Amino acid sequence: MARYPDLQAARGFLRNADTFLLTSHLNSDGDAIGGCLALRGLLHQMGKTATIVLPGPPDRHYDFLDGWMAIRQARNPAEEQFDHVVIIDCPQRDRIGLVQGYIAPGARLLNLDHHPGNSGFGHVNMVSTEASSACEMIYYLVRAMELDLDTHTASQLYAGIIFDTGGFRYSLARASTFDAAAALVRQGIDLERIAGRVFGSRTFEEVKQLGQAIHSLALHFDDRVATMHLTHAQLRSGDPEEVVNAGLLVEGVEVAVLLKEHEPDHYRISLRSKNSVDVSEVAALFGGGGHTKASGCHMQGTLEQVRNKLLSAIRQHLE
Ligand SMILES: [Mn+2]
């Protein structure tokens, strides 16, 4: 039962109120969206009301999941405020962006997350870096609360788990992750459809953009670091978060970096590591964060300035 800190307190939090706001971090990913949708369904099962408001537009790759249409995008000013808020998959409170405006003064917060470096901003902090994903944590919360796991919930949780573990490839996936996944598979979920939407189903423009990033591929420090970039003009279709993984395909590369010029001279950086380098430490140097093997940050400057700063920071972490 005591799989996670504050699990009992999280149960109490969900039982002792009737109306909840559910939210997650900017650029909400599969774990964030799957987790919000699953928890919404579970709260409905308990006879409660749950509203999902995300800081940005919900990623259309998850539109096949039950409840996706009900996801709202935060506005400024907020249309309403909530007294009970669950923040999922989010290490710092300020990463929910405009959703801050939906939190009533004095509201109670449940922080449900698996990121190292979570600031513990909640009144209840169900935070465990032992879990592959927020969705894995919600699976075990469902079990602890003895709620029913239907096919909709199972699909939402499975989508989040495969997103965060890259289809069970990363060391984030542990035996507990496979135990959870096995239970979800027993609900009769459509594995090919879910994986096809999460990892496939890209638009023509997104695939062309992958090509442009790969075209910019360069190697540094004895071919151990790969960099790619996309110019402002090339960034057409959302944030191509997964493109950075192409850099790790090169044999011998330990760290891959993708520089995305969101606005002229404003870059969003994605960092990935294959083995020993902790890229969350590199991201933290520039005000970002994330996981040991996947992290990100924002930087300003010309492409050369930003790339040089990043490379010298990465060099410090290469052994
Ligand atoms: Mn996650």
Query: Ligand 1 center to residue 276 CA distance, Å?
Result: 20
Based on the fold, state whether residues 167 and 32 are members of the same structural domain: yes
Identify the pLDDT of residue 241: 78
Query: Ligand 1 center to residue 222 CA distance, Å?
Result: 32
Coil, strand or helix: which one is 95?
helix
CATH number of domain containing 286: 3.10.310.30
Mean pLDDT score of the chain: 95
Position 167 in a domain: yes
Based on the fold, state whether residues 47 and 155 are members of the same structural domain: yes
pTM for the structure as a whole: 0.88
The vertex-102 CA angle with 24 and 284, nearest 5°, equals 40
Query: Ligand 1 center to residue 167 CA distance, Å?
Result: 13
Query: Ligand 1 center to residue 31 CA distance, Å?
Result: 5
CATH number of domain containing 18: 3.90.1640.10
Query: Ligand 1 center to residue 136 CA distance, Å?
Result: 9
DSSP helix, strand, coil percent of the chain (3-state; round to 5): 40, 20, 35
**pLDDT tens digits for range 210-248:** 999 999 999 999 999 999 999 999 987 667 778 999 999
Q: Which of 155, 173, 199 is the last residue of a domain?
A: 199
Cβ-proximal residues to 119 (8 Å cutoff; 6+ apart), any chain: 91, 92, 93
Query: Ligand 1 center to residue 305 CA distance, Å?
Result: 31
Query: Ligand 1 center to residue 11 CA distance, Å?
Result: 20
Based on the fold, state whether residues 210 and 276 are members of the same structural domain: yes
Based on the fold, state whether residues 213 and 83 are members of the same structural domain: no
Query: Ligand 1 center to residue 133 CA distance, Å?
Result: 4
pLDDT at residue 261 is higher than 60: yes
Q: Which of 167, 199, 231 is the last residue of a domain?
A: 199
Best CA proximity match to 247, nearest among 228, 268, 229: 228
Q: Which residue has the higher pLDDT, 23 or 201?
A: 23
Query: Ligand 1 center to residue 113 CA distance, Å?
Result: 7
pLDDT at residue 191 is higher than 50: yes
Return the sign of the alpha-carbon dihedral for residues 54, 8, 91, 64: negative
Position 51 in a domain: yes
Identify the pLDDT of residue 291: 83
Q: State which residues form the domain around 29.
A: 7-199
Query: Ligand 1 center to residue 134 CA distance, Å?
Result: 5
Position 1 in a domain: no
Based on the fold, state whether residues 156 and 232 are members of the same structural domain: no
Position 90 in a domain: yes
Structural domains in the chain (count): 2
Query: Ligand 1 center to residue 54 CA distance, Å?
Result: 15
Based on the fold, state whether residues 191 and 218 are members of the same structural domain: no
Identify the pLDDT of residue 319: 77
Identify the pLDDT of residue 203: 87
Query: Ligand 1 center to residue 138 CA distance, Å?
Result: 11
pLDDT at residue 2 is higher than 90: no
Based on the fold, state whether residues 18 and 149 are members of the same structural domain: yes
Based on the fold, state whether residues 51 and 187 are members of the same structural domain: yes
Query: Ligand 1 center to residue 231 CA distance, Å?
Result: 27
Query: Ligand 1 center to residue 44 CA distance, Å?
Result: 23
Sort residue 315 into left (φ over 0), alpha (ψ -120 to 50) or beta: alpha
CA gap 317, 319 in Å, rounded: 6
Best CA proximity match to 58, nearest among 49, 44, 50, 68: 68
Based on the fold, state whether residues 209 and 195 are members of the same structural domain: no
Based on the fold, state whether residues 262 and 121 are members of the same structural domain: no
pLDDT at residue 1 is higher than 50: no
Establish whether the linkage from the previous residue to 77 is cis, with ω within 30° of 0.
yes
Based on the fold, state whether residues 139 and 102 are members of the same structural domain: yes
Residue with tokens 């002229």: 264
Based on the fold, state whether residues 164 and 236 are members of the same structural domain: no
Query: Ligand 1 center to residue 221 CA distance, Å?
Result: 31
CA gap 198, 206 in Å, rounded: 14
As a whole-number percent, the residues of the chain with pLDDT over 70 amount to: 99
What does the pLDDT average to over 125-131? 96
Query: Ligand 1 center to residue 135 CA distance, Å?
Result: 8
What does the pLDDT average to over 80-103? 97
CA gap 18, 128 in Å, rounded: 26
Position 34 in a domain: yes
Identify the pLDDT of residue 276: 85
